[in-house]
Structure 1
Amino acid sequence: MTDDHAVPEASQQLLVDARALRGLAHPLRARLLDELTLHGPATATLLGQRLGESSGATSYHLRQLSRYGFIDDEPGREGGREGGRERWWRVRPGGWNMRGQVFLRDPATRQVVRAVLDRHFQQRRERLERWTALVRERPDDPAVRRWENAAADSTGHVRMTPEETAEFTGALHDFLRSWSERFRDRTAESHPGTESVEVHTDVFPVLAEADREDPRDGER
């Protein structure tokens, strides 16, 4: 049996299609991808220990994430497909992109993309809230003091057309990718004193329609 799901080269950005979207919908796969993103390469055993799951479960779901192109083998590690030791996994260097609005318009993918996006934004919000709580409750903690002047948040408003906004977003993403490339292969072991730094970007119009009744209310 052949798999006709075409996955681009690891250096290229993965555009998530409907099939890969469903592959990402499993909660454990989302947690595994999050762990690899935040903490760098790991094995199924290490991830199982962190998440309280069996290595068999994490190994299976890691292979599924690899099948859909979200992760691949960490180069330079012993083991792998032909080795006798465990595979080391990493997030694909090229990253991935999901057309969430397109999937939300399609009744066939609307439910699964809502689940994926809701979980994504919940995890993102929880990490920000944990940092904010640390700053509020433990301001004199050495780790907090070390990072307090580096962390930042801001909100800006610019009046643009959709076309100008798309151009702006593309330039912003190119800038972020260029900086990320400088630090791509760093790990906690290779660069002591570093932490996983999270950057949130939300580009959206403030529409009058947003003040109207939530269209999902009738579906709940």
Structure 2
Amino acid sequence: MPANDHSSSPQHLTDPSSIRALSHAVRLALIEVLGVHGALTATQAGELIGESATTCSFHLRQLAKYGFVEEAGKGPGRSRPWRVKQVGWIVEEIANDTEQNAAAKILGEIALERQLQRHQEFNHRKHEYPVEWRDAGDESHTVWWVTPSEMASLQQEINNLIYRFRERLENPELRPAGVLPVEVMVLTHLFTPPDIVAQSHEQDKD
């Protein structure tokens, strides 16, 4: 994405309507290609995601309505390129907000499904890539025994590593020769169900 004056921090989502507006496969696909390729017209985006220009134009306008994308000036002729306003998003958790939590859950599930599908597709077609790129996808798994404070510290270390090259995503001028976009996804979660964790927590206090 061309360098601009927009904030480089992820967009923080709290409004259920905005979260629901993003919870659509085509809209997520548009956000993804605009984030990776920079400003695109509806026609260009449609060619990348396999949708018609008319469909993309409609969904881009909806994304603009909720502040996810904006027009990126005028292109050649009557073309109308779009760009994302901020790269990435974070859904802010609001305690006891059932509507917001339900919307966030749906968005998270749709986004995760898309990410896992891309990982599986890479694995299935790994042999088609040049040799030097076949190790770009990897899978690791372990179980950590940690305290809540240790987990928070580890999560911060993971976040720092993931965002190491974030500036290259936002500014193509910073990308050295030979780079390609590599999606990095890290999943962390408690191994134990919440009721068992609650029981253990109560026992530790006794």
TM-score (norm 1): 0.68
Structure with the bigger percentage of helix: 2
Indicate if the aligned counterparts of 1:93 and 1:184 stay in contact, CA closer than 8 A: no
Aligned with 1:108: secondary structure?
A: helix
- Equivalent positions of 1:126-165 (< 5 A) are 126-135=117-126, 139=127, 141=128, 143-165=129-151
Alpha-carbon separation, structure 2, partners of 1:34 and 1:94: 9
Aligned with 2:155: secondary structure?
A: helix
* Residue 122 of structure 1, aligned match among 99, 113, 127: 113
Q: Which residue number corresponds to residue 196 of structure 1?
A: 181
Question: 1:206 Cα shift?
Answer: 1.4
Q: Which residue number corresponds to residue 91 of structure 1?
A: 84
Aligned with 2:172: secondary structure?
A: coil
**C-alpha distance after superposition, 1:61-115 (max 9, x if no partner):** 21332343333455xxx517xx96433223344531114x658x64324543333
- Equivalent positions of 1:43-192 (< 5 A) are 43-74=41-72, 79=74, 85-99=78-92, 102=94, 106-135=97-126, 139=127, 141=128, 143-186=129-172
Question: 1:193 Cα shift?
Answer: 4.4
Unaligned ranges ≥5, structure 2: 1-5, 197-206
Alpha-carbon separation, structure 2, partners of 1:191 and 1:175: 19
Indicate if the aligned counterparts of 1:32 and 1:47 stay in contact, CA closer than 8 A: yes
Indicate if the aligned counterparts of 2:71 and 2:81 stay in contact, CA closer than 8 A: yes
Indicate if the aligned counterparts of 1:70 and 1:92 stay in contact, CA closer than 8 A: yes
> How many residues are matched?
189
RMSD: 3.3
Alpha-carbon separation, structure 2, partners of 1:52 and 1:155: 33
Unaligned ranges ≥5, structure 1: 1-8, 212-220
**C-alpha distance after superposition, 1:48-67 (max 9, x if no partner):** 33444443332232133234
Q: Which residue number corresponds to residue 19 of structure 1?
A: 17
Alpha-carbon separation, structure 2, partners of 1:72 and 1:194: 27
